[in-house]
Homo-oligomer: A and B are copies of this chain.
Amino acid sequence: KNPVHGNTSYCLQQTSLTAFGNKYESITELDFVRNILAPVLKATIKEAGGINLKEILATGIQMGDELHGKLDGTRSVFVSRLLPHIVKTDFDKDTLAQVGEYFNTNPGRWYGGNLMMASCKAMMDPAKNIEYSTIVTAMARNGVDFGIQVSGLGNEWFTGPAGTIIGYTFPGYRQEDSTLDLGDSAISETRGFGGMAAPAAPGHARFIGRDFKDAIERTKQMYEITQTEDSLFQIPYLDFIGVPVGIDIRKVVETGILPVINTGMAHKDGGHPMIGGGRADPPMECFKGAFVAFAKKYT
């Protein structure tokens, strides 16, 4: 919920099944999420009277998170904020202990992404439908197309082919096993996180197979295609400059610089967990298409 503008957003509780299609092994996780995690979180957040996600994300970016692929600090802060309230719910000890274990073990990696995606959407939606605005309000991809929405152009999607994900694959998988760029998590780059803020997470920059210096260079370029720096989310490694936010289709088309997307890899055949992570380039076509539509609408 965005308390300033009154709008609300939602996100699926990500699991290895709902995010990456690993149906063979993760029905157990889905059952746990539906029957235990979701009710406990609901009661905890009610008990807390709400949790300030913006504060948690702003703290996380100070802790080595770029807030798309890396959310370790964010998750730990989230768990700290839950503690005083989760203990007040009426669930039995073993149920709460299971939730605590989930937060501390590998499957728990997703819930940071849920907070991030829903709050990015809640933060970006008020920027929609502003007349004459050339700012990108959403980016998403489905493994075939990559699409953007632009403020002054309403809900229309402008698309181009989804990019290849170049990065790191977990042992047992190869890059050729990956789908093309896939998912709705690029709302984080739309908000100035993820690839846009990559130097906030040197560990992640290394994980996805690029060096840290390259991440710095690419993020510095992002200020050339965005509207402003957001001082609420500061990148420690870049002398606390705010993340680049407000991708402007005019600047993208003019400079030829594309937003940087950090993302996870799903297996193209399904039935597998996440198989790696990397970086994918959006297609220039969607920015050009939006630019043409903008010129047509406003001239």
Contact = CB atoms under 8 A, between A and B. Distances in A.
A81 to B, nearest CB: 6
A104 to B, nearest CB: 6
B73 A79 contact: no
Contacts of A62: 64, 72, 203
A84 B100 contact: yes
A130 interface: no
Contact of A239 (B99, B212, B240): B212
Contacts of A277: none
Interface in A194-250: 202-203, 206, 212, 236-237, 239-240
Interface in A80-101: 80-88, 93-94, 96-101
A76 B74 CA distance: 9
Contact of A73 (B73, B96, B237): B73
B84 A93 contact: no
A88 to B, nearest CB: 5
Given A73-B63, A79-B79, A240 B206 contact: yes
A36 interface: no
A77 interface: yes
Copies of this chain, count:
2
A103 B80 CA distance: 7
A75 interface: yes
A76 B81 CA distance: 9
The prevalent SS among residues of A at the interface is helix
A96 B93 CA distance: 12
Contacts of A87: 86-87, 93, 96-97, 100
Nearest to A105: B84
Contacts of A212: 239
Nearest to A98: B84
B63 A83 contact: no
A85 B73 contact: no
B104 A83 contact: yes
Given A63-B64, A100-B87, A203-B62, A80 B81 contact: no
A290 B55 CA distance: 49
Nearest to A108: B80
A243 to B, nearest CB: 16
Interface of A: 59, 62-64, 72-73, 75-77, 79-88, 93-94, 96-101, 103-104, 202-203, 206, 212, 236-237, 239-240
Closest 6 CB pairs of A and B: A84-B100, A76-B76, A83-B100, A87-B96, A63-B63, A202-B236
28 contacts: A62-B64, A62-B72, A62-B203, A63-B72, A63-B73, A64-B64, A73-B73, A75-B80, A76-B77, A79-B83, A80-B80, A81-B104, A82-B83, A83-B83, A83-B86, A83-B104, A84-B96, A84-B98, A84-B99, A84-B101, A84-B103, A84-B104, A85-B100, A88-B97, A202-B237, A202-B240, A206-B240, A212-B239
